[in-house]
Amino acid sequence: MTRTGTGSTFVLRLYMALFFAYMFLPLGVMVAAGVNSYSPPSITIWQGFTLRWFAEFWADARMWSGLVNSLIIAVAVMALALPMGLSGALLLSQLGRRSAGIVYTVMVSPLLTPGLIIGISTVILWRNFGTTAGLFTAILAQSAFIASYAMLMFMARLQRQDHTLEEAALDLGATRARAFRRITLPFLRPTIVTAAVISFLQSFENYNTTIFSIGGNHTLVTEIGARMRFGISPMINAIGILFILVTVICAVLWSLLRQRERRQEAAA
């Protein structure tokens, strides 16, 4: 190997080391602080390994109620955002270029709107209909901008679709609903799964919109934010460790399922 090649390899390895350190070192510090007996969270002052912070989380009823509320909101937002995003993508794919540009600007505008504006506006609107702030208004407020994420993903997928297949189905006597169900929907299936996951995660971790639209209720994220004002507890680190474990498990399962699908496609 030449000197130039050796130097390039060293630079690449150094860059990769710095990259992974930048990405994962904070997580490593959080994990270490989450199993340290010392409070507040620290790794410079080590008082021994412990699982007491996980036990505190398990016994914290308010944290668990916030987690349940977060899951309820996330599932409901996912159920609303997917059909709204798909409807918007299908509409834009059928409009002319000039009309589509105007409608596209309107539909993606919630992404550019501050979360507090969306949250407060939703509460004010539904108060006029006798609905107080709570889980319902939080679901509607989050869906207003998360649906735009789903729409963008569906639009990117629809741009790669072969529309002659639908036209052929219509020529052979299929209704538009049947052509959509048998051709377009299977084509969109991978994007539907991806959009569902993104919508769920966007809702679950959302703070700015939720804190202004949920009223007297709370989610896991808003409860953590409220407690941060009184200092950081190692219990928050323990919650982070649990989320890391869940994320890794889901990623491994997803990878295994994808490998299984590829093997089945290759065998077919």
DSSP 91-105: HHHHS-HHHHHHHHH
Burial of 9 (0-12, 13-18, 19+ CB in 10 A): exposed
Residue type, 211: I
The whole-number pLDDT of residue 96 equals 65
**Would the pTM count as exceeding 0.75?**
yes
Q: Is 235 in contact with 57 (CB distance < 8 Å)?
A: yes
The whole-number pLDDT of residue 260 equals 83
In a domain, 8, yes or no: no
Confidence of residue 234 (pLDDT cuts 50, 70, 90): confident
pLDDT tens-digit readout, 164-188: 777 787 777 777 888 888 888 888 8
In a domain, 108, yes or no: yes
Confidence of residue 84 (pLDDT cuts 50, 70, 90): very high
4 has pLDDT over 80: no
In a domain, 222, yes or no: yes
140 has pLDDT over 70: yes
**pLDDT, the chain, mean:** 86
- CATH number (domain holding residue 70): 1.10.3720.10
In a domain, 257, yes or no: no
- How many CA within 13 A on the CB side of residue 219? 26
In a domain, 167, yes or no: yes
Q: How many domains does the chain have?
A: 1
In a domain, 70, yes or no: yes
Q: Write out the residue range of the structural domain in which residue 184 sits.
A: 60-239
In a domain, 92, yes or no: yes
In a domain, 255, yes or no: no
pLDDT (average), residues 123-135? 89
pLDDT (average), residues 11-31? 88
The whole-number pLDDT of residue 75 equals 95
